[in-house]
Structure 1
Amino acid sequence: MYRLFSRWREGFTAQGRLQRATSWLKQEGRAPQGFALLGRLAQDGMVAAQYQVARAYLEGCGVPRSPAEGVRWMHRAATAGHAEACFAMALMLLVDPPDGRGADGLLPASLPAGIERWPDPVAATGWAERAARLGLPDAQALYGYLLACGPESLRDEQAARFWCARAAQAGCPQGDLGLAVAHLAAQAPGTDPDAVAALNRAAESGLPTAQYMLGLLHERGWGMARDTGQAALWYGRAAGQGVRPAQARYGALLLQDREDAPRNMLMAETWLRRAALGGDREAAALLGDLHARGEAAIPADHEAVMWYRMAADQGHALACRMLAVLYQQGRGVAADPGLARQWLERAAAGGDVTAMSDLAATVLAAGGEQAATLPAVVDFEPAARAGDPVATFNLAVSLHAGVGRPVDRPAAALWMERAARAGVVNAAYWYGRMLLEGDGVAAAPAQARQWLEQAAMHGLPEAMFALGALYGGGHGLPPDREQALHWFVQAAQAGHALAQMMAGRYLARGLAGRVDGAQARHWLEQALAQGVDAARADYAQLAGG
């Protein structure tokens, strides 16, 4: 009897009514009644009821959904010190409002006092701190994460580790994830064993972000032996939970023949499609590549166009350039040079150095006044300063020829040397010629010969011919006719017309110490066939002899 009376009396207490209201909210037929009771309690100042009212408005439970009212009540409960409400405010202030403003928007027409803008990472960090200090493990993990990776003005590596560790000690997987992120944000990925251990715990607990990050560490060999099998395992788990980058990386790994598993094209395309349709531009571009190269399960040019356009619309520069190629060739679409040029310019605007080079080549080929004017999107300097060898070479050529910028031969020589040292074969040839001729740099024939030899050894016919001429005498270097003949023959075999004439002349006259009439005739005939009239006299003399 006493127990029954106690239960009856509890039903009239504020706490009892709160419990009854929340219970009714879960019952389909009584949810409105439960919300009405919650509303009375919230209006009377019960903070826990205010939090529940906020949730009901945000979720549309027992009342028509009203994000604006939800925010207002959540802010009121958070201001009163409700831990979960503080945490909810932190989460909401970190993202753009999905519904915009207005009567049914996430934000009211006038923001609650204390909220000046939305999103507001700084304010979100403040609310996360309040919830963390109130002992909420999830909030401690979020606060630690924000201190590690949030607004620059609030970052505190030591405090980030402290709060993430507290959350992890409370058994919160997000704490382990935050601890890993805090470690990795301060050091090279994988170099801290504590961070890797925390990431493993978070991944094993089922957190998809941790699973994706662990996949990255395994794929790239950060802090552990590179293991694409383990990477695929963790990517697959994260992909199954909807992590878009994991879907893209998982699809890319499935395209490879690995020791633990053969290539699986159908499965790879499935995951890449999911990632691409979810907005991953790299996955879309990769699908475009597969179709354009004929490597897809059922390749089709129109599919290549579709996926490239999807990536290009998101600013993927390489996809823009590939679309230009398809429009130029009429593959999957009607050939359209105008559209091809537009996509090429968009690729160049996105920083694609190859697209810039193609545009520059188009302008130079046009000749005349156009040769000095490049489209505004063609600017090789940023990529050159960032260390791109091809852009460095193209910048040097532009400065040398005055294409798109004033002629500046000394600057051209500086950039050309950088490109040559970076391994650009054409730059080695150009720089050798500039050193030979004192073009923008002090003449240095011995150094010129070294750069020309480097270019020649990589198969550049112009460099081979230049070396032949250099070894033939002049520029203050002792002649070496045998070396001259060697390089003339090498260039001649590569189809260089003037080298064919010089090889014929050397062999006809014995300039390198030996005469070979048959070979001389062969090379002179080759030169004549390519229109080198200067070879005619040598050929006539050989025939007359």
Structure 2
Amino acid sequence: MNAVGSTPARRPVARLVRAAVGVGLALAMAGCQGLSSRLPEGGLPPVAVEDWALLAWTWPYEMNHLDWTRVRRARQAVERGDYVGGLARLEEMAADGLPPAHYELAKMYHYGHGVSRDLRRAEGLYHAAIRVNSSIRDNASYNLARLYLTHDALGNHDVLAYRLLQQALPGQRRAEALVQLAALRASGGDGIPVDRQAAEALYREAVRLGSDEALLALAEAYHDGGFLPADADASRDYLARYRTLVNARIAEGEVEAMLDMARLYGPEGRLGPAPERRLAWLVRAAESGSTDGMRRAGELIFVEDPARGFEWLRRAAHRGSVPAMATVGAIRLGAPAALADPVQARFWLEKAVDNRSTSAMTDLGEALLVGETLEPDPARGRALLEAAAQHGEPRALTLLGRAFLEGTGLPQRPRLALGYLQRAHREGDVWGTIELGRLRLSGAEDLPPRPEEGEALLASAVERGETAAMRDLAEAYLAGTALAARPSRAEALLQRAVALGDTTAMARLADAYLNGELGGAGPERALELLEAAADRGDDYAMLLLGRAYRQAPGGLSVDLVASERWLRRAVEAGHPSAPRALRNTLYAQGLAGRVPALIEAAEGGASRCHGGPGEALSDGRGGRRSVRPGRAVARRGRGGRSRRGRPEPRAGLSGRRRAQATCRARAALSGAARRGGRAERGPRSGAGISARGRVRAGSRRRRALPRAAGRSRPCRRGARARPGAAGGARPLS
């Protein structure tokens, strides 16, 4: 039975005829338009053979008004939020072979509208829409090109993307396609040579068509450091025209225009950095009433003001924004700690998972595997990560591989981990590539190392600008074990990571300069790098600064005050090695005569601060004599015993407490005298007491007997012992 709105049964035959005619014409015109689009142009290589069908000319596809009515109704259902109904209608039309249905489905899976984002499926649907020459071919070509240019997970298709953008030029998105072509020509790509003059011409054509994005690109191109010769007047002119267009869009209430203006005042914007004006535009976008605008503005505000940005994200989540639900849940897991709430994190992540959010599946699966914030549930955590991976989230594959490699929540199975990491690498996840490179460099329990493969994997991640890969490869070159030692290459990689703002690379490069692994710079450069990293909050850099000012490597001057300051900051930042390093600095200050520092170090548990240094303070052997603090420090080191090994009274056992103890001792001995002149010594007289001990005990009893016989007045609570007691008794020593 034919679907509603379809033509009679002769329609499939007509399609076959048109397809055959199209193929014949494409083959017949091999030297004309169809093949010419695949030939090198301007130094571009040809596209792959399997992609010819995306660029070949075919007979135009005809659709009647009933088909267009069905497509329009399905699109309206999606726009009003009826994703289930719209999806069912589009899938039915796609089964009938309608190109607009393929295109609308591709957009849903591309942007995650009502379905889980699935880039692979979106790619296939775009292909199905483009292979047929219909009215939506231009837009589908543009979207597929953008998909290839913005998602490395689909592989490198720069040349195909360039050809698709050229194919999209006759359509409604001509200006946007020109901007993308100009960007490719300005920066180049895989197989696309740099051509700045061509880029300028393409941008100017886009400006003629009213593109504000092209205006901003030219303003930046003529600015200092742009790809065109610097021209301040031209840069200002293009920037003023850009602001005029953006203000016109803002007057119409467009949220995207408000966000564009906020970016203009950002750290890398042409009018920035201006934090107050940037924040004002972000708040205006959040208050526009658009749920999506509220979410996007909240994400940008969160970077500068976490509490305020989180509030906007929470409002968007309550309004039903699935991406906002996933973001709120991720923040509640503990980033930052002030907003951590495990119960709320589980609630929002579960709600986003119910709406098929792959990012929520990944975050919740990781939290259940690790079990630090939420109660561990390895089985469900693995299931969520597997589901996210099936819906086009390669980061989930990387997390599964790491869990099986390290045994985090799952049994340690290196071979299974290798399989997951290889899948993540094939899917284009750069962290999967880095983890796989690390595994190949070091090997595992039943996996021998493959240094050459690991080096190649990390090098590919370096080419994509990942600073973690730069650091890992530099460490391998410095160690010289898995790979041959290449100090100069290691230094170049670390310097490249430093130029990209990686604080860990700053600390590692400075450490290499200080400990002699690299000789390219002196200690002054090392301190400069460490202070830059520490000022950005790197606790390891704070630790290295504290040690450097205490140990003075490479000819530095000792500065114990600066060492203490940086180490206290490292302790506050939470570095696990900082407390011990701080005690060592306080110990060094104590040896220099600063008594409070030595006492603080001793109270913190530094064992070498006890004993000798304490006795030196008490005896004045360090140039300064401090008897009571020195004895206290020394006593801590000897476990509370004297120099001869005898227990010492606790500090402060004098005065009132000493008198009370003396009274209790006398009362006990007097009671023993009244019972027959002998103290109780257990079952047998003298059991467990040495001869010397019995003599001392007897002497004490003899001294106490006269006072007991004289029935001395009992000690009052808190009274001091009197040296000349009645009956001639001598005071206890």
Shorter-normalised TM range: 0.5 to 0.7
Q: Which amino acid aligns with 1:373?
A: E
The answer to whether the Cα contact below 8 Å between 1:363 and 1:374 also exists between their aligned partners in 2 is no
Structure 2 residue aligned with 1:249: 399
**Does the Cα contact within 8 Å between 1:148 and 1:185 map onto a contact in 2?**
no
Q: Deviations over 1:43-97 (max 9, x none)?
A: xxx9x99999652124469xx9753564663459xxxxxxxxxxxx9xx89x967
Please state how far the C-alpha of 1:415 moved relative to its aligned partner. 2.4
1:34 aligns with 2:130: no
Alpha-carbon separation, structure 2, partners of 1:476 and 1:320: 54
1:130-172 deviation digits (Å, cap 9, x = unpaired): xxxxxxxxxxxxx744530258599999998888888x7xxxx
**TM-score normalised by length of structure 1:** 0.56
Of the three residues 116, 119, 128, the one matched with 2:212 is 116
Change (3 A) 1:471 1:228: farther
C-alpha separation in 2, matches of 1:340 and 1:416: 28
Q: Does residue 392 of structure 2 align to residue 294 of structure 1?
A: no
**In structure 2, what is the Cα distance between the partners aligned to 1:426 and 1:97?**
56
Bigger Rg, structure 1 or 2: 2
**8 A Cα contact 1:287 1:304, kept in partner:** yes
Among 513, 530, 536, the alignment partner of 1:380 is: 530
How far is the alpha carbon of 1:127 from its aligned partner?
A: 9.1
* TM-superposed deviation, 1:392: 1.9
Cα RMSD for the two superposed structures: 5.8
What SS does the corresponding residue of 1:212 show, helix, strand or coil? helix
Shift of 1:390: 3.7
C-alpha distance in 2, partners of 1:364/1:59? Answer: 54
Describe the superposition over 1:256-302 as per-residue Cα deviations: whole angstroms up to 9, x where unpaired. 4466x533322211221333455544333433443444316232333
Aligned partner of residue 253 in structure 1, secondary structure: helix
Q: Quick one: distance in 2 between partners of 1:30 and 1:380? A: 70
Match of 2:565 among 400, 405, 414: 414
**Structure 1: stretches of 5+ with no match in the other structure:** 1-9, 77-88, 130-142, 169-174, 438-442, 489-510, 515-545
Give the Cα separation in 1 of the matches to 2:617 and 2:534: 31
Query: What residue in structure 2 maps to residue 432 of structure 1?
Result: 587
Letter of the 2:439 partner, please give it: L
| TM-score of the pair, normalised by structure 2 | 0.44
Identical counterparts, % of pairs: 19
Q: Does 1:306 align with 2:306?
A: no
Mapped to 2, the partners of 1:463 and 1:482 lie a distance apart of 9
Question: Following TM superposition, by how much is the alpha carbon of 1:414 offset from its aligned partner in structure 2, in angstroms?
Answer: 2.4
Amino acid paired to 2:137: A
Matched AA of 2:296: C
**Mapping 1:446-485, distance limit 5 Å:** 446-452=596-602, 454=604, 456-457=606-607, 466=613, 469-470=616-617, 473-474=620-621, 475-478=624-627
Q: Distance in 2 between matches of 1:417 and 1:161?
A: 36
1:495-536 deviation line (CA, Å, top 9, x unaligned): xxxxxxxxxxxxxxxx9448xxxxxxxxxxxxxxxxxxxxxx
Matched AA of 2:394: R
Counterpart in 1 of 2:381?
231
Cα shift readout 1:177-211 (whole Å, capped 9, x = no counterpart):
335246548865762676334312123xxx53443
Question: One-letter code of the match for 1:429?
Answer: N
| Residues 1:456 and 1:240: Cα distance change in structure 2 (over 3 Å) | same
Separation (CA, whole Å) in 2 of partners of 1:452 and 1:317: 41
Q: Which amino acid aligns with 1:178?
A: P
For the Cα contact (< 8 Å) 1:326–1:332, is it kept in 2? yes
Following the alignment from structure 2 to structure 1, what is the Cα–Cα distance between the partners of residues 18 and 204?
A: 29
Q: Identify which range, 247-256 or 106-115, moves more after superposition.
A: 106-115
Is 1:67 aligned to residue 165 of structure 2? yes
Code of the aligned partner of 1:432? Y
Give me the whole-angstrom Cα distance separating, in 1, the residues matched to 2:365 and 2:567.
Answer: 41
Match of 1:362 in 2: 515
Equivalent-residue separation in structure 1 for 2:375 and 2:461 (angstroms): 33
Maintained 8 Å contact 1:97/1:106: yes
Q: Which amino acid aligns with 1:428?
A: R
Give, as a single letter, the amino acid of the residue that structure 1 aligns with 2:351: A
Q: Are the counterparts in 2 of residues 144 and 159 from structure 1 also a CA contact under 8 Å?
A: no
2: CA distance between counterparts of 1:211 and 1:106?
A: 42
TM-fit CA distance, 1:334: 3.0
In the comparison of the two structures, how many residue pairs are matched?
415
Q: Which range is displaced more, 240-249 or 190-199?
A: 190-199
Q: 1:473 to 1:314 in 2, by over 3 A?
A: farther
Counterpart for residue 6 of structure 1: none
Q: Which residue of 1 aligns with 2:352?
A: 199
* Contact 1:248/1:272 (8 A) holds in 2: yes
Q: Which runs of 5+ in 2 are unaligned?
A: 23-57, 76-98, 104-132, 143-159, 186-197, 218-245, 258-289, 303-307, 333-338, 646-733
1:219-267 CA distance string (max 9 Å, x none): 46698533232222111122233322112112112224466x5333222
Question: How many Å separate the matches in 2 of 1:126 and 1:237?
Answer: 36
* d(CA) in 1 for partners of 2:346, 2:569: 39
